[in-house]
Amino acid sequence: MRSVGERQPGVARGIAAVVVAGFAAVYGFAGSPLAVVVFGLQLVYVFPGLRRFRGKWLLAVQAVVVYAAVLGSGTSVGILGFLGGSLLLTSWWPLAVPVAVSAAVLGPADPAISMVLMSLLICGLTRLAERVEEVHAARLTLAVAAVAEERLRIAAELSQGLGRGLAEVARGVRLALAEPDRATETLGEVTGTARGFLTDARNAAAGYRATSLAPEVTTARAMLAAAGVTAEVRSGEVEPAGPAGALLATVLREAVTEIVRRATARTCLIEVSGTPGTPGTVRLRVISDDSSTAEDAGFGDLPGRVAAAGGVLTTGLTAEGRLVVEAVLPDVRQPLVPADDRGAFWLSMALLAAVLVGFSVKALLIVPGAMIVPAAVCLVAIVFMQLRSVTGWHVAGLGLMTALTYLPILVFGRPWLGLAGFLAGPLLLSLRWAVAWPLVAGLTGSVALLAVWLELPAALVVNYAVSTVVTGLVVYGLIRLAQQVRELHAARQELARAAVVEERLRAARDLHDLLGHSMAAILLKCELARRLDPDRARAELADVLAMTERAEADMRAVSGGTVREMSLESEVRSARSVLSAAGIATDSDLAVGDLPADVEHVLGVVLREAVTNVLRHSSATSCLISATPWDGGVRLRVRNDGARPAGRGRGSSGLGNLTVRLAALGGTLTTETTGDRFELDAWIPMDRAAAGAGVTAGR
């Protein structure tokens, strides 16, 4: 089944076609034999597939048909609105003015006003349907742009941090090679630098995984509920992602943790909103009936971190004595949808207002002079309610609209019958169609009965009944299109945010799996070189320089650049070198030949993470690395001794990353600990990893 977003362009065109059909039906029921022809010609402007038939000849045919209907068969001049709307859709739009003038000359004021309204509606509905299609088609473009922006930001962050650290390491190693007498001192500094930037890499990966405030709100609600605290969450359309979302998530986590720890609160309100009077910012408020004072709410270095991000974190008490924690941060990435895209929504609202005002003027033209003021007051109330209905109708609103539809008829009589369609639209919008259409049919029938009660001619009875349905469709179409534009904007926002979140998660995986390993290996090699004699140290430092170059290439890949091709054989050699430097005896057995590049890359990443875990979470003395054909695929196994029970639960982020990477190729990851022996087993099916005949072994 297609998503709502995928169906919206077709729905928008369908709404426009139904409204045009309703207009044509008015003249068809009035006895115009050309109404069907007028409707068919107008569809050329509604559906993109008929675009090739548009042009001056179509306009000429339309002009002949509508004027023939008016002059030849006595049809109301309102039918000229079809021609006026078509002209407004083309470069010939100035000719719509003389058409409107001719309507005013050929007919009375009421149908002439209808002609102008119909011209605006036909043009507006067609443009809105086109705009919905354009906004829908541009949703992927917006997502791509958002990802590109995120990659630039990640690249800038990595270049300022890790890139600078790698450059310092390389510079220090070259200095140690050039000045052997100062090598020990220089390597000490390089080791400290490498250790610091390894921590930075891990922190950056954790930061990229913290992508949004929304999951933390869900967690906070669950924590409060488990602690017996009644939680209420108020969150509008603001959904900060990226750095602002991650930092606000930290503030929320700390605030809720303190509430749960103190165990004195019974209610808590979590509120996420824009900051009144300060556009481009997002505000998080956590308000509780905690017995603690504002001075008791300490957040460590969080106020400083928030201030460094351009925001402010405060604690205080409300007038009712409730504890409030408030964080305000700039959310420079909001909104993802450009401001000029809001034009489609405001166009729909302007058209709706024009229709409401136009019908109101038509009603006031035939209201007795003494009744104009109270009638105008009622019409203002109706117009206000209709414009507010874009956000939805409620039972109370429908009840009030029903009263404003029927009760004034007792006072104003015939002029109010034409406004019954303003109730039909809300019924179609707010109720299921299985319920709405019978109610609209009942409304239409009641209008016909009231017209008979007012002793109107049969033609007017039919006209008012048909107009009720058509006006209802017009109101429904305009409000529904306005809602569609809002929904599409929200869908585009969500798609772009989802793409950004996925990009951040990808960067976190690559940063952890690629750069994390490289920095750990560089640190280990530098520490080893400090303990060796100068000749052997030079060989290790040469390895460090090569590792630094690979790490710089990995950093470019993390920030969205070209991914460096990874050879499983070279990664095995690197792993043996790093493990040997750590005093771990290493055997390797590669019984696979050429593998697809993506398979080699993933297996190389798996091997890097496995080696990192051996170094960080074990006191291993031996390690075995093997890659062999197995069970219709290729299997990479890394086994080591010295596994520490306390460390088994650690490294879950890295193993989670590997699971995601392998799953993308249809593979699996398993781990097993037996006594002090740990085994990591990665498998990729043969259809992605055709095993070759060559065999490479090392010992």
Question: Averaged over 680-684, what is the pLDDT?
Answer: 92
pTM above 0.85, yes or no: no
**What is the residue-averaged pLDDT of the chain?**
78
Residues 131 and 249 in one domain: no
Same domain, 689 and 574: yes
pLDDT at 696: 38
pLDDT tens profile 288-316: 887 665 455 567 778 888 888 888 888 88
Q: Say if 209 falls within a structural domain.
A: no
Give 64's pLDDT tier (boundaries 50, 70, 90): very high
DSSP state of 292: S
Give the residue-averaged pLDDT of 653-673.
81
Residues 541-556, mean pLDDT to the nearest whole number = 79
Boundary (domain end) residue, out of 78, 106, 137: 137
Determine the structural domain holding residue 105 and report its residue range.
Answer: 1-137
Q: Provide the pLDDT for residue 659.
A: 80
Q: Does 89 reside within a domain?
A: yes
Pick from 102, 137, 172: which residue ends a domain? Answer: 137
Query: What is the pLDDT, as a whole number, of residue 316?
Result: 84
User: Are 209 and 653 within 8 A, CB to CB?
Assistant: yes
- 133 and 247 in a common domain: no
The verdict on 2 and 133 lying in the same domain is: yes
Is 264 within a domain? Answer: yes
Mean pLDDT in residue range 90-102: 89
CATH number of the domain where residue 664 is located: 3.30.565.10
Query: Would you say residue 597 lies in a domain?
Result: yes
Is the same domain home to 572 and 690? yes
More confident of the two residues 201 and 314: 314
Is residue 645 within 8 Å of 617, Cβ to Cβ?
no
Judge whether 588 and 698 are in contact, CB under 8 Å: yes
Taking residues 129-148, what's their average pLDDT? 68
**Is pLDDT above 50 for 648?**
no
Last residue in a domain, options 276, 309, 330: 330
Residue 391 per-residue DSSP state: G
**Cα–Cα distance, 111 to 115 (Å, whole number):** 6
Whether residue 617 contacts residue 653, with contact meaning beta carbons closer than 8 Å, is answered with no
Q: Which residues contact 518 (CB under 8 A, 6 or more apart)?
A: 547, 550, 551, 554
Asked if pLDDT for residue 651 goes beyond 60, the answer is: no
Report yes or no on 534 lying in a domain. no
289 assigned to some structural domain: yes
Q: Which whole number is the average pLDDT over 373-402?
A: 80
Task: Give the sign of the dihedral formed by CA 134, CA 139, CA 140, CA 141.
Answer: positive
Q: Which residue has the higher pLDDT, 679 or 50?
A: 679
**pLDDT, position 692:** 41
Domain tally, the chain: 3
What pLDDT digit, counting tens, does each position of 612-636 carry? 888 877 888 999 999 998 888 899 9
Question: Is 179 within a domain?
Answer: no
For residue 578, is it within any domain? yes
Tell me how far CA of residue 563 lies from CA of 232, 555, 598, in angstroms.
Answer: 46, 9, 10
